[in-house]
Amino acid sequence: MRDGFPKSRPDPVSKSHQRAIELLAERTALGTWHRRWLYAALAFAWTTGALWVFAHFALGTGPNGERHPLEAWALRLHGAGAFAFLVALGSMFAQHIPRAWYLGRNIASGVSALIVAAFLIATGYALYYFALEDAHAIVSTLHWSVGLAAIALFWAHVAIGRRGGRPKPA
Protein backbone atom coordinates (compact mmCIF):
# COMPACT_ATOMS: atom_id res chain seq x y z
CA MET A 1 0.00 0.00 0.00
CA ARG A 2 1.16 3.43 -0.89
CA ASP A 3 -0.49 6.56 0.48
CA GLY A 4 -3.33 4.45 1.83
CA PHE A 5 -4.20 2.91 -1.58
CA PRO A 6 -3.46 -0.64 -2.73
CA LYS A 7 -0.86 -0.90 -5.53
CA SER A 8 -3.37 -2.36 -8.00
CA ARG A 9 -5.35 0.85 -7.92
CA PRO A 10 -4.09 3.82 -9.97
CA ASP A 11 -3.09 7.02 -8.23
CA PRO A 12 -6.08 9.20 -7.42
CA VAL A 13 -6.61 12.16 -9.72
CA SER A 14 -6.54 15.68 -8.40
CA LYS A 15 -9.79 17.43 -7.57
CA SER A 16 -9.39 19.77 -10.53
CA HIS A 17 -8.69 16.85 -12.88
CA GLN A 18 -11.72 14.99 -11.56
CA ARG A 19 -13.88 18.10 -12.04
CA ALA A 20 -12.65 18.42 -15.62
CA ILE A 21 -13.59 14.80 -16.28
CA GLU A 22 -17.06 15.39 -14.80
CA LEU A 23 -17.57 18.53 -16.89
CA LEU A 24 -16.68 16.70 -20.07
CA ALA A 25 -18.98 13.85 -19.16
CA GLU A 26 -21.94 16.18 -18.58
CA ARG A 27 -24.52 16.64 -21.24
CA THR A 28 -23.73 19.42 -23.68
CA ALA A 29 -27.02 21.17 -22.97
CA LEU A 30 -26.96 24.93 -22.89
CA GLY A 31 -27.60 26.93 -19.76
CA THR A 32 -31.07 28.41 -19.32
CA TRP A 33 -30.23 31.97 -20.36
CA HIS A 34 -28.00 30.86 -23.22
CA ARG A 35 -30.72 28.58 -24.53
CA ARG A 36 -33.37 31.30 -24.22
CA TRP A 37 -31.19 33.80 -26.07
CA LEU A 38 -30.47 31.34 -28.87
CA TYR A 39 -34.10 30.28 -29.24
CA ALA A 40 -35.34 33.88 -29.15
CA ALA A 41 -32.83 34.99 -31.78
CA LEU A 42 -33.62 32.00 -33.97
CA ALA A 43 -37.38 32.48 -33.60
CA PHE A 44 -37.15 36.21 -34.32
CA ALA A 45 -34.97 35.72 -37.42
CA TRP A 46 -37.22 32.94 -38.72
CA THR A 47 -40.48 34.79 -38.00
CA THR A 48 -39.35 38.02 -39.63
CA GLY A 49 -38.04 36.06 -42.62
CA ALA A 50 -41.40 34.30 -42.95
CA LEU A 51 -43.12 37.69 -42.59
CA TRP A 52 -41.01 39.04 -45.46
CA VAL A 53 -41.96 36.05 -47.65
CA PHE A 54 -45.63 36.66 -46.82
CA ALA A 55 -45.40 40.40 -47.56
CA HIS A 56 -43.44 39.83 -50.76
CA PHE A 57 -45.64 37.14 -52.26
CA ALA A 58 -49.07 37.45 -50.64
CA LEU A 59 -49.36 41.22 -50.36
CA GLY A 60 -47.56 41.89 -53.62
CA THR A 61 -47.42 45.34 -55.18
CA GLY A 62 -49.79 48.26 -55.19
CA PRO A 63 -51.45 49.78 -58.27
CA ASN A 64 -48.34 51.85 -59.07
CA GLY A 65 -45.92 48.91 -58.65
CA GLU A 66 -44.78 49.90 -55.15
CA ARG A 67 -44.10 47.15 -52.63
CA HIS A 68 -46.17 46.85 -49.49
CA PRO A 69 -44.55 48.76 -46.56
CA LEU A 70 -44.57 45.59 -44.43
CA GLU A 71 -42.03 44.04 -46.80
CA ALA A 72 -39.39 46.69 -46.07
CA TRP A 73 -40.03 46.58 -42.32
CA ALA A 74 -39.91 42.79 -42.25
CA LEU A 75 -36.57 42.88 -44.08
CA ARG A 76 -35.12 45.44 -41.64
CA LEU A 77 -36.26 43.41 -38.65
CA HIS A 78 -34.97 40.22 -40.27
CA GLY A 79 -31.53 41.83 -40.60
CA ALA A 80 -31.58 42.70 -36.88
CA GLY A 81 -32.69 39.16 -36.05
CA ALA A 82 -29.91 37.76 -38.22
CA PHE A 83 -27.33 39.78 -36.28
CA ALA A 84 -28.74 38.52 -32.98
CA PHE A 85 -28.61 34.96 -34.30
CA LEU A 86 -24.98 35.46 -35.42
CA VAL A 87 -24.04 36.50 -31.89
CA ALA A 88 -25.91 33.51 -30.41
CA LEU A 89 -24.35 31.13 -32.94
CA GLY A 90 -20.89 32.51 -32.26
CA SER A 91 -21.36 31.92 -28.55
CA MET A 92 -21.90 28.24 -29.28
CA PHE A 93 -18.26 27.92 -30.37
CA ALA A 94 -17.06 28.74 -26.86
CA GLN A 95 -18.33 25.61 -25.13
CA HIS A 96 -21.28 23.76 -26.69
CA ILE A 97 -19.72 22.83 -30.03
CA PRO A 98 -16.24 21.84 -28.79
CA ARG A 99 -17.64 19.77 -25.92
CA ALA A 100 -20.16 17.98 -28.14
CA TRP A 101 -17.46 17.33 -30.75
CA TYR A 102 -15.09 15.92 -28.12
CA LEU A 103 -17.81 13.69 -26.67
CA GLY A 104 -19.09 12.68 -30.11
CA ARG A 105 -22.64 13.76 -29.27
CA ASN A 106 -25.17 14.84 -31.87
CA ILE A 107 -22.48 15.33 -34.50
CA ALA A 108 -24.49 14.67 -37.69
CA SER A 109 -27.36 17.03 -36.91
CA GLY A 110 -24.99 19.60 -35.37
CA VAL A 111 -22.73 19.72 -38.41
CA SER A 112 -25.79 19.81 -40.66
CA ALA A 113 -27.20 22.74 -38.68
CA LEU A 114 -23.86 24.57 -38.93
CA ILE A 115 -23.69 23.99 -42.69
CA VAL A 116 -27.23 25.32 -43.15
CA ALA A 117 -26.47 28.31 -40.90
CA ALA A 118 -23.31 29.04 -42.93
CA PHE A 119 -25.32 28.81 -46.15
CA LEU A 120 -27.93 31.25 -44.82
CA ILE A 121 -25.22 33.63 -43.60
CA ALA A 122 -23.46 33.52 -46.98
CA THR A 123 -26.61 33.98 -49.04
CA GLY A 124 -27.89 36.73 -46.73
CA TYR A 125 -24.57 38.54 -47.06
CA ALA A 126 -24.64 38.07 -50.83
CA LEU A 127 -28.17 39.45 -51.05
CA TYR A 128 -27.20 42.54 -49.12
CA TYR A 129 -23.83 43.26 -50.70
CA PHE A 130 -23.13 41.30 -53.87
CA ALA A 131 -26.10 39.83 -55.71
CA LEU A 132 -26.53 41.36 -59.15
CA GLU A 133 -30.03 41.80 -60.53
CA ASP A 134 -29.75 38.61 -62.61
CA ALA A 135 -28.69 36.47 -59.65
CA HIS A 136 -30.67 38.29 -56.95
CA ALA A 137 -33.92 36.38 -57.53
CA ILE A 138 -32.15 33.00 -57.51
CA VAL A 139 -30.11 33.75 -54.38
CA SER A 140 -33.21 35.18 -52.68
CA THR A 141 -35.29 32.09 -53.46
CA LEU A 142 -32.53 29.82 -52.20
CA HIS A 143 -32.15 31.89 -49.03
CA TRP A 144 -35.80 32.05 -48.04
CA SER A 145 -36.64 28.46 -49.04
CA VAL A 146 -33.70 26.99 -47.11
CA GLY A 147 -34.37 29.42 -44.24
CA LEU A 148 -38.00 28.41 -43.89
CA ALA A 149 -37.10 24.71 -43.99
CA ALA A 150 -34.09 25.08 -41.68
CA ILE A 151 -36.21 25.52 -38.58
CA ALA A 152 -37.08 21.81 -38.76
CA LEU A 153 -33.37 20.88 -38.80
CA PHE A 154 -32.56 23.11 -35.83
CA TRP A 155 -35.44 21.69 -33.76
CA ALA A 156 -34.47 18.15 -34.77
CA HIS A 157 -30.96 18.88 -33.49
CA VAL A 158 -32.43 20.04 -30.18
CA ALA A 159 -34.72 16.99 -29.93
CA ILE A 160 -31.87 14.57 -30.65
CA GLY A 161 -29.70 16.35 -28.09
CA ARG A 162 -32.40 16.16 -25.43
CA ARG A 163 -32.70 12.46 -26.12
CA GLY A 164 -29.02 12.12 -25.39
CA GLY A 165 -27.42 12.27 -28.82
CA ARG A 166 -25.29 9.44 -30.07
CA PRO A 167 -22.14 8.81 -28.05
CA LYS A 168 -18.81 8.34 -29.77
CA PRO A 169 -18.20 4.64 -30.53
CA ALA A 170 -15.55 3.06 -28.31
Nearest to 147 by CA among 127, 161, 129, 170: 127
**pLDDT, tens digit, 9 for 90 and up, residues 98-142:** 888 888 888 999 999 999 999 999 999 999 998 778 889 999 999
If you ran DSSP here, which 8-state letter would residue 132 be given? -
Inform me whether the pLDDT recorded for 17 exceeds 90: no
What average pLDDT does the segment 3-11 reach?
50
pLDDT band, residue 29 (cuts 50/70/90): confident
5 forms beta bridges with 2
* pLDDT band for position 50 (cuts 50, 70, 90): very high
**First vs last C-alpha separation in the chain:** 32
Q: Return d(Cα 138, Cα 142) in angstroms, integer.
A: 6
Q: In this structure, are residues 107 and 100 in contact, taking their beta carbons and an 8 Å threshold?
A: yes
Is 111:162 a contact under the CB 8 Å cutoff? no
| Strand, coil or helix: 67 | strand
Q: What is the pLDDT of residue 124?
A: 95
Mean pLDDT across the chain, nearest whole number?
85
CA atoms in the 13 A half-sphere facing the CB of 155: 7
Question: Which pLDDT score is estimated for 167?
Answer: 53
pTM of the model: 0.79
pLDDT at 37: 94
Cβ-contact 48, 77 below 8 angstroms: yes
